Amino acid sequence: MTRLPTFNTCDRHVRHRLHLNETDSKVVHPLQTCFNEEFARISIYPDPENQVATECIDRHYRLSADQLLLGNGVDEIILLICLSFLQYGRQALLSESTFPGYQAAVRLAGGHCLWVPLDRGRCDLQAYRQSVGSGAALAFLCNPHNPTGTVMESREVTTFIDSMNQNNIIPIIDEAYVHFAGETRYSILAAIRQGAQAIMLRTFSKAFGLAGLRVGFATVGRSAQALPFRVNRFAQRLVAEVLTLGAVDNTVACVRGWLRGIMAAFDAGGIDYLPTATNFICFKPPLGSEALLARAQTNAIRVRDCAPFGMPCWIRASIGQESDRDTLLELLQLPGVTVLEP
Ligand SMILES: Cc1ncc(COP(=O)(O)O)c(C=O)c1O
């Protein structure tokens, strides 16, 4: 077995979870009855074809069902993609400091990472283009970018897709946080509908508040090989229901409001941060990251140290509910700034 470094430790004693970019799930509580109905069928295997869930995603996003692959979280789909396309030690292009799940999957699949530098927290598409001669098979682009929270317009991304395609590289556009930025302006969904040759990744763990279910999808069609029964019956059912619940817009509006408050407080307090298009924010604590992490630990708060991602002195904190905003401001000993909710 290959053992990979993990950034996620046991969280039993954590009171404030600001480290995994989760969003509060109270809005999905009306779906409790669906959960109970599935519990009554717990001895029966789930649908190996994920038919109902796939049809609902298909209808909601106006994609074609044979384009869709559901998985046990986007994490699993990333691994399946790497296992499918990185045989014989092939390479994948990745932004420096990016979401560590890509590197883990590339290594598990026996491939190699080719790192592309970031440009002030932004993915540098020009630098990706300069790396295409390396013979890479895949190019991961996280948009909006985790952990820096920056985002690129969909037209920049479609140009990137074209240039990767011209070099026989499959672009993988991870839109885990795109709801927070705004789908219309930043997602490649419309391009995918029109046949863009890219894999778009979407998770239900973030704006939908279903991280505990482990479910996401990719527009990879049937090209990735996968075993049946990977998506459990609770996940299949709730995905189908959550899309019709229509709660995401409200979640996004709240999260944006809380983060606007934090950015205003950071401006007022002179704290260096990267303006964010997501449900998390990256900042440099004035007292230093070590001291902040120690203070967080004492208060049973978990935030993300970005040093292991090559960003020493930077901390990432996610704001999934109103109390997370207050927790972060208290941790930094900043006064709260009242902002109007949209
Ligand atoms: C950019 C990005 N992609 C994928 C994932 C994993 O998503 P999932 O919970 O669906 O496995 C995360 C989780 O934090 C993420 O930040």
Give backbone dihedrals phi and psi of 286, rounded to 5 degrees, phi first.
-60, -30
Does ligand 1 have an atom closer than 6 angstroms to the CB of 318?
no
Question: Is the CB–ligand 1 distance for residue 176 below 6 Å?
Answer: yes
| Percent share of the chain, pLDDT over 70 | 94
Mean pLDDT of all residues in the chain? 92
Above 70 in pLDDT, residue 1?
Answer: no
> What would the mean pLDDT of 139-168 be, rounded to a whole number?
97
Question: Which of 99, 173, 187 most suits a substitution to test ligand 1, by most atoms within 8 Å of the C-beta?
Answer: 99
Which CATH number is correct for 16-26+248-331, 1.20.950.20, 3.90.1150.10, 3.30.460.10, 3.80.30.20? 3.90.1150.10
Residues of the chain with CATH 3.90.1150.10: 16-26+248-331
Q: How far is residue 89's CA from residue 65's CA, in Å, rounded to a whole number?
A: 31
Identify the band that residue 20 occupies on the pLDDT scale cut at 50, 70 and 90: very high
pLDDT at residue 11 is higher than 90: no
pTM of the model: 0.95
Confidence of residue 86 (pLDDT cuts 50, 70, 90): very high
- pLDDT exceeds 50 at position 341: no
Asked if 322 contacts 249 with a C-beta cutoff of 8 angstroms, the reply is no
Cβ atoms of residues 177 and 146 within 8 Å: yes
Q: Residues 2-9: what's their mean pLDDT?
A: 55
Residue 5: its pLDDT value, please?
54
Cβ atoms of 274 and 283 within 8 Å: the answer is yes
pLDDT value of position 226:
80
Taking residues 297-310, report their average pLDDT: 94
Q: With 90 as the cut, is the pLDDT of residue 258 above it?
A: yes
177-221 pLDDT, tens digit per residue, is 999 999 999 999 999 999 999 999 999 999 999 999 999 999 987
Ligand 1: which atom is nearest the Cα of residue 177? 1
Q: What CATH class is the domain 28-245?
A: alpha beta
Whether pLDDT at 222 is above 70: no
- Write down the pLDDT at residue 340: 47
d(CA 99, ligand 1 centre) in Å: 8
Q: Provide the pLDDT confidence category of residue 88 given band limits of 50, 70 and 90.
A: confident
What is the location of CATH 3.40.640.10 in the chain? 28-245
